[in-house]
Amino acid sequence: MPAGSDLIYCYDGSFDGLLCCVFESYEKKEIPVDILVAATAQPLLFSTKEIPTDSQKAGRVLASIPQKLGPAALVFIQQAFLTCLGQKELYILLFLRLGYRNGPSVMNMLTDNVVGTLCRAVKHLERESHLFKGFLRFSIFSNVLVGEIEPKNYVLPLLTQHFCERYPEERFLIYDKTHGMGLVYQPYQSAVIPISSLDLPAADAEEQRFRELWQLFYDTIAIEGRYNPTCRMSHMPKRYWTYMTEFGSRPKEARPKLPDAGRTLLPIPVQEKLP
């Protein structure tokens, strides 16, 4: 192992910055014990080394990845960079070092600790972003769709294409509260911008009506005899419920009285017994 393993790299938190750390690690023949974002780094026992972001160095590393490790590996580390994995920077560095030694087959080395850890983190990211494609809820304020999410991973880049294709003629905003970022879209233009906080106006009558209609649908569609909250929870953990319309506060008058003509309510069937 190269010398200098009590070093900590500090970088600016950008993907290019991380690639410069990779450059530095090869140029100086050293492997840091950790890579931290400069702004968040505390005074530490280890000696720290500031790695300046240099687009030329970053470009050289970037170009080498698909060449030496294959195009799939580049997509893989770009996604890994969006995950909430602790020490993701160090894992990405170690992954690239492993890849420069082994070539594209590094993607098959699933039993390796570094590759395995990154794979799990990327799976988590993909799963979370997939769930938000469904669980995200928009409210409409003066014809702009606004939705809030609180994801663990930085999923906005993975949601962009889906929502832009879904609502090509709309204007919308998806606010990621965890990361203080927002995806804004107007026909055929989108951007991800920093947003520190978001105060939403009260829903107007029309918006309120559709929220209540949706809550009514949600309550009605469940079959009483199959009530199974555990199953619901495993598919849709509670942390996703915060911004979902169907779990929002509901005024009592939202449930209309129905004509009861002869409608016998069924007894809830007894728990099924195995033979």
Partner 1 sequence: MDVFDKLKILTDAAKYDVACTSSGVNKKAAAGGIGSAAACGICHSFSADGRCISLFKVLLTNICIYDCKYCVNRRSNDTPRTMFSPRELAELTINFYRRNYIEGLFLSSGVLKNPDYTCEQIIETLRILREEYRFAGYIHAKAIPGADSALITRLGLLADRMSVNIELPSQNSLQLLAPDKSKHAIFTPMGHIQNRIRENSRDIVKYRHAPKFVPAGQSTQMIIGATADTDYQILNLTENLYKRYQLKRVFFSAYMPVAVDSLLPALDTAPPLWREHRLYQADWLLRFYGFAADELLDQQQQSFNPYLDPKCNWALHHMDSFPVEVNRASYRDLLRVPGIGVTSAQRIVTARRTTSLHFDNLKKLGVVLKRAQYFITCAGKTADGIKNTPNAMLRSLLSAKTLELYHSQFASRPEQLSLFHQPALRPLPQEASNNAGRV
Kindly list the residues in this chain that would bind partner 1 in the complex (CB under 8 A). Answer: 102, 105, 108-111, 113, 116, 120, 130, 133-140, 145, 147, 162, 165-170, 210, 212-214, 216-218, 220-232, 234-236, 244-246, 256, 258-259, 261-263, 266-267, 269-275
Q: Write down the H helix ranges in the chain.
A: 15-27, 55-69, 71-80, 88-102, 113-135, 156-166, 205-221, 229-235
SS3 content of the chain, % helix, strand, coil (to 5): 50, 15, 35
Task: End-to-end CA distance of the chain: give it in Å, rounded.
Answer: 63
Q: Which residue has the tokens 């009260």?
A: 202
Q: What is the DSSP letter of 246?
A: G
For residue 108, the minimal CB distance to partner 1 (Å) is: 5
For residue 275, the minimal CB distance to partner 1 (Å) is: 6
For residue 104, the minimal CB distance to partner 1 (Å) is: 11
For residue 227, the minimal CB distance to partner 1 (Å) is: 6
Q: Which is nearer to partner 1, 53 or 190 (CB)?
A: 190
Q: Which is nearer to partner 1, 45 or 221 (CB)?
A: 221
Q: Which is nearer to partner 1, 54 or 170 (CB)?
A: 170
The Cα 218–Cα 267 span in angstroms is 21
Q: What is the DSSP letter of 233?
A: H
For residue 1, the minimal CB distance to partner 1 (Å) is: 21
**Within 13 Å and on the Cβ side, how many CA atoms surround 87?**
11
The Cα 20–Cα 52 span in angstroms is 7
CB 225 within 8 A of CB 269: yes
For residue 105, the minimal CB distance to partner 1 (Å) is: 5
Q: Which is nearer to partner 1, 15 or 141 (CB)?
A: 141
Q: What is the DSSP letter of 261?
A: T
Q: Which is nearer to partner 1, 226 or 252 (CB)?
A: 226
Q: Which is nearer to partner 1, 152 or 232 (CB)?
A: 232
